[in-house]
Structure 1
């Protein structure tokens, strides 16, 4: 594909400063881009590369308006770059409609004629698949599960019985949805399994990364809210209720029956104990351990997690602790000399 900077700016809703007739052939990171390619800058750390990049044009934020380069000025450069990627690299992989001869489908399945089901995929009884959904090789869909339209289920995904998945959901390889929740009761010195008879509900426009585990509810449902994005290697326990448009980063663990509001961000390796109520617009920093409820718009850091600014002050003091110890010892020595 090739496109002029003028046409691209129009499609992206960007302001063009520079040569409107430049032709662009691809995209690349600002440090690696070559002539004819488009780059972007959104992180201040990389602004210094603007003049040295070989890119023919650069998407930049409004604070940058002067450069020898042709600029596409946009209030959200990263978003604009993502839209440019879709223009230059439309989905190239095409899947034929229909069920592969080597796939297995159970009784009473409802499969739209536009659905693709790859080789060695298994659909148990009473499964429903909406239009234009793609089930790739080796995926397993348990009985009585329902998957909406325009979904993409990558190879070797396991969707256990009774799961409900909305429209435009993407699930990456190795993920299991609807595995048993970790429920046991102690009796006479032994752990006895509690049957996990609930389901998982994944709402519209969710994307789930590779090798995640989302457990079915003990009773009722585990729910992932609309528009939520989940990174690789995330554990979500039974009866968790997650709001809309949450961002869950790799290696997060959410214990059973915890409720998340809308627009919650859990950074890498954050951990939440069970039965918490986490408000809307909460941010939990990386490696934080949350053991209490959090109100709307709270920002927490540390383990145990505290208010982010408070925790940063604590860490600043801890960094100076060796100096404090040294000074205290000097004072103790002086006091001893005075005795």
Structure 2
């Protein structure tokens, strides 16, 4: 597909500097771009890579100067580049409302207009699926689940019974929603399972990455708030109440009955203890362990997690330990020498 720089600028509402009629055939990143390609420069740190790039044009922020090649200035180069890639690499979309004859759909299930169901998908008794949702091949939807409109369920996703999904939810391959929580009582040396009789509610505009899990509540719901984005390989335990617009990076583990406020960020491999509450806008650094509540607007790090400035002071203190140890040895030598003279 060949387009001009001017056309690309119109797609992303950007300002063209340089030849607007230059033909562009593809979009690639700075390191891979070739003549005829457009690339993007996210910030001034990428300037040297832009100068050495073979790309014919670039999408840039306002701070990037002209270097002889056409540029398109926009407020957000990354998102503008993503939009251009979608245009240039567009593929025909699958038709809505195509229900495979190889799918198993219970007679009581209700599919709204435009629902697409792939081969070998299973939709159980009493399920309701909203308009224009897509259930890909091999997905399993348990009994009495409710799925909103324009929701996408990728291959091999499993929804246990009674799960509730809002509109525009995206569940990537291998996600499991509504499995039993890890709840046991020990009696006379035997672990006895506590029945997990609740469900999972996922609000609108949530995206959950591949092979992540959200366990059902013990008696009520485990909730994931609207707009929250969860990476691959994340575990959310039973009874958790996750706020709106949270970001959970890969390998996060949130133990049962924990709660987060809105706009919380958990970096990779963070662990949250059971019943812990994180306030709104809390950010937790990578590989941290959080054993206690954190008030709103705190940035914490470490295991156990403490405020970031405290961790920085501790880090520099630890770095000085060898020096301090040597100073203590020298002080001890002087004290010992003084003690000998006094004895004389």
- TM-score, reference length from structure 1: 0.93
Once the two structures are superposed, the pairs formed by residues 84-103 of structure 1 within 5 Å of their partners are 84-90=84-90, 92-95=92-95, 97-103=97-103
Structure 1 unmatched runs, 5+? none
Is the CA contact 1:181–1:238 (under 8 Å) kept in the aligned structure 2?
yes
Which residue of structure 2 aligns with residue 21 of structure 1? 21
| Aligned equivalents of 1:61, 1:329: Cα separation in 2 | 56
Change (3 A) 1:134 1:15: same
Match of 1:178 in 2: 178
Q: Secondary structure at the match of 1:99?
A: coil
Q: How many residues align?
A: 339
1:45-81, CA deviations, whole angstroms, 9 ceiling, x for partnerless residues?
Answer: 4332121111122222222234333222223222222
Q: Which moved more, 1:90-99 or 1:217-226?
A: 90-99
Change (3 A) 1:90 1:333: farther
Matches within 5 A, 1:141-160: 141-160=141-160
Unaligned ranges ≥5, structure 2: none
Shift of the 281–79 alpha-carbon distance from structure 1 to 2, 3 Å rule, reads farther
- Counterpart of 1:131 in structure 2 is 131
Structure 2 counterparts to residues 65-214 of structure 1, below 5 A: 65-90=65-90, 92-95=92-95, 97-214=97-214
CA contact (8 A) 1:200 1:222 kept: yes
In 2, Cα distance between equivalents of 1:102 and 1:108: 18
Q: CA deviation at 1:227?
A: 1.4
TM-score under structure 2 normalisation?
0.92
**Residues 1:34 and 2:34 aligned together:** yes
- Residues 189-241 of structure 1, C-alpha deviations (whole Å, 9 max, x = no match): 22211111111111111111110010001121111111111110000011111
- CA displacement 1:260-295 (0-9 Å, x = unmatched): 111111110011112122122221111111122222
1:51 alignment partner, SS class:
helix
C-alpha deviations, 1:63-101, integer Å up to 9, x for none? Answer: 223433322222322222222233223454525633222
Residue 229 of structure 2 corresponds to: 229
CA distance in 2, matches of 1:27, 1:313: 45
Q: Select the structure of larger CA radius of gyration.
A: 2
Does structure 2 conserve the Cα–Cα contact (< 8 Å) formed by 1:98 and 1:113?
A: no
